[in-house]
Amino acid sequence: MQWLFGVLRAEIQQYYKFQFQTHLVDGTFRLCHSSCDLLDVGTLDDYFVNVTEWLRENPYDVLTILLGNGNFAAATEFIAPLKKSGLLDYVYTPPKIPMALDDWPTLSHFILTGKRVVVFLNYEANQTEVPYILDQFSQMWETPFSPTDLSFPCDIQRPPGLSEAAAKDRLYLASHNLNTMLSFAGQSLLVPNTVLLNETNAVEGFGSVGKAGIDCADKWERPPNFILVDHYNMGPVNGSVFQAAAILNNVTYNGKCCGRLKSASPSKLFSQLSNQVWPVYLVVAMMVTAML
């Protein structure tokens, strides 16, 4: 079997998020989470242009983009940003709907055909009308979103009601972005737990991304295809999340990460509220088998 997205190269900086929520504002998609009044990091068009430029410079990399459809916009609304940026030239169209686990091609197929970007949409996908924007939850399931449990149980949350038998025939994403509840301006906010990043982004130990990946692999007999983390450039050592992914991929991590920030302190959690309420996610993709 063959899913086949390797870990994204470290020169992609934090603003190159690969899982994000979009909001349609005055006819233009903007990258915000929950509300653009809280944090607006620009337009989807600009983001796609950046990704397209990076793909041209890195011809042997394969990306997955998971779009969060905050306004439940029609899938056709996403066609224009893909076309205008040139990204559509790289987007993969699957041969069947939906794709089961063993239907996916090898990594070498994506590279040789030039179709090196797989685009998922969490809600309102319509593959009959737009076959290259894939419906997420008919082909991928997720563990609990915005987890607050440091043990990170590898259970099915979305789509609801999915049987274990059906789950074993789909891709899956493990959420490993620990959150905590804070009271701020009279409201309760679920925010990233930056205090424990040295634990959650570690290679081993309770609560670590490495242990969570192994726990998922033990339960489902294969590692996650994707792991969602916060602040991928922070951890006990430089590149720890990538090292954990390499171990799960059964390969050696020889790369350098991203200019690691200093270890998180309690004050960082609160200072984050003033400049970045919502987390920056990196989806670290798992490669089950390297079939090149």
| Residue-level pLDDT at 183 | 79
CA atoms of 52 and 68, how far apart (whole Å)? 19
- Say if residues 1 and 266 touch (Cβ distance below 8 Å): no
Domains present along the chain, CATH in parentheses: 19-285 (3.20.20)
Q: What is the three-class DSSP state of 77?
A: helix
| Residue-level pLDDT at 176 | 94
- Give CA 184 to chain center in angstroms: 27
| Residue-level pLDDT at 148 | 94
pLDDT in tens, the chain (292 residues): 233 333 333 333 322 335 555 656 657 777 776 566 666 667 888 889 989 999 999 898 888 888 888 788 999 999 999 999 999 999 999 999 999 999 999 888 999 999 999 999 999 999 999 999 999 999 999 999 889 999 999 999 999 999 999 999 999 999 999 999 887 778 777 888 999 999 999 999 999 999 999 999 999 999 999 899 988 888 998 889 989 988 988 888 887 666 544 444 444 433 433 333 322 234 433 333 222 2
Assigned token pair, 255? 């790369």
| Residue-level pLDDT at 79 | 95
- 227: CB partners within 8 A, 6+ apart: 173, 174, 176, 209, 212, 213, 241, 245, 283, 284, 285, 286
Query: Which residue from 51, 16, 4, 50 is spatially nearest to 258, judged by alpha carbons?
Result: 16
Which residue, chain included where needed, has tokens 């559509």?
88
- Say if residues 98 and 53 touch (Cβ distance below 8 Å): no
| Residue-level pLDDT at 221 | 94
| Residue-level pLDDT at 174 | 94
For the entire predicted model, the pTM comes to 0.80
> β-pairing, 171-175 with 226-230?
parallel
33 beta partners? 35
Spell out where the chain has E strands. Answer: 19-25, 28-33, 35-43, 63-69, 117-121, 133-135, 140-142, 171-175, 179-184, 187-192, 226-230, 281-285
CA atoms of 192 and 194, how far apart (whole Å)? 6
| Residue-level pLDDT at 238 | 81
| Residue-level pLDDT at 41 | 67
Per-residue buried b or exposed e for 71-85, using 16+ beta carbons within 10 Å of the residue's own CB: eebebebbeebbeeb
Helices and strands counted in the chain (H then E): 8, 12
| Residue-level pLDDT at 11 | 31
Which residue, chain included where needed, has tokens 């082909």?
139
